[in-house]
Amino acid sequence: MTSSPTGEVRSVPSDSRLPDWRPINPALYPAAVSAAKGGAEFFQFASGSVWVVSAVSSFRELRVSGNVSLGTAVAITQSELLTNCHVVKGHPIITIKKGQVIRQVRVQAGDERTDRCILSTKGRYLTPVAGMRRFKDLKVGEEVYTIGSPGGFERTLGYGIISGLRTVEGQHLVQTTAQMSSGSSGGGLFDKSGNLIGITTFILRDSQGLNFAIAVEDFFR
């Protein structure tokens, strides 16, 4: 970034390339928690790890809400969050928001082909998810919840089931009937105990209920 003669902070245009992919250290993969929770209890337990993401090319765009890419990110350590690359790619200024708290973050690593991106903070102030589950342990028919930011509406809760488990070109995808819409990209797909099982990523157009999440373990490999 550079300063103009008026003192306004401006962004140097980005070349849109992402940092090379470097997975999260597998040693940081938390064990699953086991106590099932109802909707309100689940939300209280899991939502603190979910943030709204805004990505822009300049601070002016952030102030006037112009050309802002909105999505979601989920904290998995005190300084790292998971999201989708299509939310942040090409935007040098990225912020996360929860309530009145707004922080600037950076892309730590990314793989555009599989839409996996890792964001990082300067401080260690995030509340990470309590637990995670591996793809091989999931079952079709399980009840699941989504927490995302559709339309920028912070920490919106959705409910459904796992409707399929797919492996496409080595990538593990969790198909679900839980609601997703624009802004949900990068949000969390959780089981009813509050374990993170995937990062919500896309919807097949002209289809009913075909929503997908990238299995969380794919961010560790």
Cβ neighbours of residue 46 closer than 8 Å, sequence gap 6 or more: 129, 130, 145, 147, 188, 190, 194, 196
Helix (H) or strand (E) holding 16: none
Catalytic (active-site) positions: 86, 115, 185
Nearest 5 degrees, angle CA 46-CA 170-CA 190? Answer: 10
Q: Is 148 buried (19+), middle (13-18) or exposed (0-12) by CB count in 10 A?
A: buried
